[in-house]
């Protein structure tokens, strides 16, 4: 897909993210906006996933380990035409579009996530199963840099390398911020690239808001044999909305009416 088409999808996805969080007056816009380009590239360029194979295991799979950015996942599924739920019901009572994704209620959600750190372990299990079943499908997991403070992330990475899971790609969304502020000030998991290499993964560093770099990184990951790949994707938290960019206060806050109007104006001008 051409870059301009990916940009068009990403712009629409960002508008859906902001609108969902505004309508619900609840949710996590910052990380969702920052990761929008990663999910756009995965779903519209990289992964084998469509309406025909959605409810089967005969396709690539995606685990949103940082489950709180569910608006990004719901928005990309909707943009792809795979979501049958109304985005306006996000975080509403009795809605299937919960604040953290539920695989039992929403087709296209491959794992229920929310407890940080557990998504990588799940992705490792999926990748092992694919190896045992001798199927060619790949598994992708998106992990937050703040989330990587959890020890279970690294246990999973160690297992992935041990089992030579070259069908697994772990993407670190490195925006440098988490709910309490700068990631380095909380626990300090950096440097992620060197750590991933030490745990036995092939590592790639890229701009997670640049489609050309994302496509090149994912292509390299697919070509890598004998070991799993970790992509360290540097992103801007709140990408596309002027007052949200690089501001950890928007990790889990909803805009008011005036802020929503400004956000949509920013996104429209950037489209």
CATH superfamily, domain at 3-270:
Thiamin diphosphate (ThDP)-binding fold, Pyr/PP domains (3.40.50.970)
Confidence of residue 27 (pLDDT cuts 50, 70, 90): very high
Confidence of residue 1 (pLDDT cuts 50, 70, 90): confident
Q: What is the pTM of this model?
A: 0.97
CB atoms within 10 A of CB 51: 11
Q: What is the pLDDT of residue 2?
A: 94
Q: What is the pLDDT of residue 247?
A: 97
Domain segments of the chain: what residues?
3-270
Contact 72, 29 (CB under 8 A): no
Q: What is the pLDDT of residue 270?
A: 86
CA separation for the pair 196, 221 (Å, rounded): 14
Contact 74, 20 (CB under 8 A): yes
131-166 pLDDT, tens per residue? Answer: 999 999 999 999 999 999 999 999 999 999 999 999
Q: What is the pLDDT of residue 77?
A: 98
**Residue 180, CA distances (Å) to 28, 66, 125, 197, 250 in order:** 14, 16, 31, 28, 11
Q: What are the strands, taking DSSP E only, across 133-197?
A: 139-144, 168-174, 177-178, 181-182
CB contact set of 14 (below 8 Å; sequence gap of 6+): 33, 36, 75, 239, 240, 241, 267
Q: Taking 80 as the threshold, does the pLDDT of residue 271 lie above it?
A: no
Counting DSSP H helices and E strands in the chain, the numbers are 9, 7
């Amino acid at each position: 897909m051409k870059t301009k088409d990916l940009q068009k999808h990403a712009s629409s996805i960002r508008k859906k993210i902001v609108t969902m969080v505004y309508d619900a007056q609840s949710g996590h816009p910052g990380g969702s906006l920052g990761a929008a380009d990663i999910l756009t590239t995965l779903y519209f360029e990289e992964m084998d996933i469509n309406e025909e194979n959605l409810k089967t295991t005969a396709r690539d799979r995606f685990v949103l380990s940082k489950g709180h950015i569910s608006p990004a996942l719901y928005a990309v599924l909707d943009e792809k035409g795979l979501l049958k739920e109304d985005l306006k019901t996000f975080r509403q009572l009795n809605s299937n579009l919960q604040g953290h994704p539920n695989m039992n209620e929403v087709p296209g959600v491959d794992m229920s996530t929310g407890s940080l750190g557990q998504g990588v372990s799940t992705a490792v299990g999926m990748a092992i199963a694919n190896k045992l079943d001798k199927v060619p499908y790949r598994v992708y997991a998106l992990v937050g840099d703040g989330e990587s403070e959890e020890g279970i992330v690294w246990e999973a990475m160690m297992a992935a390398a041990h089992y030579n899971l070259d069908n697994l790609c772990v993407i670190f969304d490195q925006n440098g911020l988490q709910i309490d502020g700068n990631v380095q000030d909380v626990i300090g998991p950096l440097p992620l690239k060197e750590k991933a290499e030490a745990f036995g993964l092939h590592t790639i560093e890229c701009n997670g808001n640049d489609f050309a770099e994302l496509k090149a990184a994912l292509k390299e990951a697919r070509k890598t044999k004998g070991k799993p790949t970790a992509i360290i994707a540097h992103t801007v938290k709140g990408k596309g909305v002027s007052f949200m960019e690089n501001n950890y206060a928007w990790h889990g806050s909803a805009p008011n009416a005036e802020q929503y109007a400004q956000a949509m104006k920013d996104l429209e001008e950037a489209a």
